[in-house]
A and B are shown apart, each in its own frame.
Chain A
């Protein structure tokens, strides 16, 4: 599933373009001068250590937070994302790390929350059918869509949240740690799904701590460190490069282990030719 390294970076339409985005929470600068481009048909992975500002950036794109300065361009036009519904209307769907589901409502109600069919006489049958269709596309293991979300496991909640983001046929999907709580099969399905979404010409921004997942699907890897851009990599970049960009240090246990492994491989490969 790993992309071939010689594949060029897709240069579809520029869906999203951030320039000089900063966000301050009081005295804390969560983000400083962030630049980010996402093209149609491209998966951009945002990686970084805890507190690097990944989730803050996603919340700005989702309209939850407003940037302190900087510009957001969406499909060539400069936009302000004043609230979540503005982002949704533009076609930016978000799956938050904390999922943002209403535990007292059932799965159908959660998937259609805020965009119910037929507002004055809810069309429960049509909503239920659509919910099953979305969940089946995700190969979800959900016993009943009429269960309240409180009774679901973490992985099932993640699936519901992803299904919800796909409902509006968005142009850009933001996934904040989409595979963190998923089982092996579901992770594979979500990664497959991300590729399917990309092949349909959508832009995808994915945040993950899991380098395997990131390499598996990302076309570009954008590293944040302490709220700043800290390099853009292709998936064939070495683990050492990524880790040092993420942590800001080239000498730590992960990089040392990678070095040793690399050295062993070199030793094995050398005598062959």
Chain B
């Protein structure tokens, strides 16, 4: 084959095989997209379609749902559980699960309450201590998993109860600690929004970054004699995403604006996305989730990867707990109980992270939690009881998993699983 390449000079390194059709140009990339979807490689398409349906239904019943002030509240609520869901993405990537994230978040909020309000620690130190304790719990799960072979399902189920017990223990007889109104932490969780120019500026960043990295990649690929995507396509996509983001920001700025807490959440999502897709650690996470034995034989320290997933998940759960304490301005016995656990796991799964490991994206936490919170917010606006809310959220989770299974089957039959 190398001789053929020498004879016919033009073919690029990855275009030497004449049997493969390659789509070119804008129409080509649209066609390739439909081909991908048809073969079951859905990406985040189902969650976006689902979101459109949910929003249409709720908006037609109650127009307030899509008002910018309601959406701003939705973003405040999404950030807390969203951070926890981001940790769930980590453990799902390696094919494990953490069922105790709700308890850990509640324990972390209780810890911040006692250390900061009752013991008089500086708030930053109290938050760091809560996150460190979260990391310690994750390290314990990793130890049980790596050294004793305890399935994460069981160890974290035990942790769910044990950590809840710790939370009740440190809250003591009072049962709840109110965080002082007017403090920075509570303001951050309830009030602080970005100034308008900052939000417009930040909304332009993804498009600019996309454009710069995209053009640089094209240049490098051309230099290396590899095929490269068309410059026009990159510019189109960057412009489109900038317009969409600016419109969203413009609409939300009609009300209070973009919460800083949501900005922090999105920042974490982007950082996690980078870590999962562009670093050796992220590659190893996918490999361990896809084929543990192959990863081990490739020289990857599989135990370390599992540990990093568990520790990161518990730390993010603890941080999410701190944020929700700030949002509610209290650390109570109810914090982290009820549907927090399942909302976090459901968000990751609805967003498109596979329950079976090896497939997932940090963005699934963002998209999934917006779906979950939209349902919660819409049903609250309709004045429906939480009984109905649980049933509907459960049904949406079931549908998400069904879509995932069907897509997986389609991928298998198209040789892409």
A62 within 8 A of B: yes
Cβ of B17: which chain A residues have Cβ within 8 Å of it? 141-144
Query: Contact check: which of A64, A114, A121 meets B300 at CB < 8 Å?
Result: A114
Cβ of B415: which chain A residues have Cβ within 8 Å of it? 150-151
A85 within 8 A of B: yes
Query: Contact check: which of B1, B283, B284 meets A136 at CB < 8 Å?
Result: B1
Q: Which residue on B lies nearest to A152, using beta carbons?
A: B415
Query: Contact check: which of B291, B301, B416 meets A102 at CB < 8 Å?
Result: B291
Q: Which of B100-144 contact A (CB under 8 A)?
A: none
A38 within 8 A of B: no
Cβ of A122: which chain B residues have Cβ within 8 Å of it? 278-280, 283
Q: Binary interface profile of A, 96-115, with partner B (CB < 8 Å = 1, else 0)?
A: 10001111110001000111
Tally A-B pairs: CB < 8 A.
Answer: 117
Comparing A48-56, A125-133, A209-217, A219-227, the segment that makes contact with chain B is A125-133
Is B287 a contact partner of A62 (Cβ separation < 8 A)?
Answer: no
State the CA gap A140–B2 with chains docked (Å): 10
Is A119 a contact partner of B279 (Cβ separation < 8 A)?
Answer: yes
CB distance from B356 to the nearest CB of A (A): 10
Comparing B61-69, B216-224, B306-314, B382-390, the segment that makes contact with chain A is B216-224
A66 within 8 A of B: no
Q: Which residue on B lies nearest to A138, using beta carbons?
A: B1
CB distance from B285 to the nearest CB of A (A): 11
Q: Which residue on A lies nearest to B293, using beta carbons?
A: A100
Q: Which residue on B lies nearest to A129, using beta carbons?
A: B224
Known contacts: A102-B358, A129-B226. The answer to whether A143 contacts B19 by CB under 8 A is yes
CB distance from A111 to the nearest CB of B (A): 10
Is A113 a contact partner of B1 (Cβ separation < 8 A)?
Answer: no
A145 within 8 A of B: yes
Q: Binary interface profile of A, 38-76, with partner B (CB < 8 Å = 1, else 0)?
A: 000000000000000000000000101000000000000
Q: Which of B388-417 contact A (CB under 8 A)?
A: 411, 415-417
Known contacts: A102-B358, A121-B279, A132-B13. The answer to whether A84 contacts B286 by CB under 8 A is no
B296 within 8 A of A: yes
Chain A at the B interface: SS class = loop
Is A103 a contact partner of B20 (Cβ separation < 8 A)?
Answer: no
Q: Which residue on A lies nearest to B219, using beta carbons?
A: A125
Is A150 a contact partner of B417 (Cβ separation < 8 A)?
Answer: yes
Cβ of B5: which chain A residues have Cβ within 8 Å of it? 136
Counting chain A CB atoms within 10 Å of each CB, the highest count among B13, B224, B301, B358 belongs to B13
Cβ of B281: which chain A residues have Cβ within 8 Å of it? 119
Q: Which residue on B lies nearest to A100, using beta carbons?
A: B294
A88 within 8 A of B: yes
CB distance from B305 to the nearest CB of A (A): 11
Q: Which of B219-254 contact A (CB under 8 A)?
A: 220-221, 224-226
Known contacts: A85-B299, A119-B279, A122-B279. The answer to whether A103 contacts B286 by CB under 8 A is no
Q: Binary interface profile of B, 339-365, with partner A (CB < 8 Å = 1, else 0)?
A: 000000000000000000011000000
State the CA gap A139–B301 with chains docked (Å): 32
Cβ of A64: which chain B residues have Cβ within 8 Å of it? 296-297
Counting chain A CB atoms within 10 Å of each CB, the highest count among B278, B280, B300 belongs to B280
State the CA gap A116–B5 with chains docked (Å): 27
Is B279 a contact partner of A102 (Cβ separation < 8 A)?
Answer: no
Q: Which of A118-175 contact B (CB under 8 A)?
A: 119-122, 124-126, 128-129, 132, 136-137, 139-146, 148, 150-151
Query: Contact check: which of B1, B294, B299, B416 meets A88 at CB < 8 Å?
Result: B299
A208 within 8 A of B: no
State the CA gap A139–B415 with chains docked (Å): 23
A179 within 8 A of B: no
State the CA gap A120–B283 with chains docked (Å): 11
Cβ of A148: which chain B residues have Cβ within 8 Å of it? 416
CB distance from B29 to the nearest CB of A (A): 14
8 pairs of residues in contact across A and B, judged by CB atoms under 8 Å: A94-B297, A100-B291, A116-B280, A116-B283, A129-B224, A137-B2, A143-B20, A151-B415
Q: When A and B form their complex, which 3 residue pairs have the shortest distance between CB atoms, in order from nearest?
A: A85-B299, A119-B280, A114-B298
Question: A140-B1, A146-B14 provided; 14 other pairs, C-beta below 8 A?
Answer: A83-B296, A85-B301, A101-B294, A104-B359, A109-B287, A114-B295, A119-B279, A122-B278, A125-B224, A129-B226, A132-B14, A141-B1, A141-B17, A145-B14
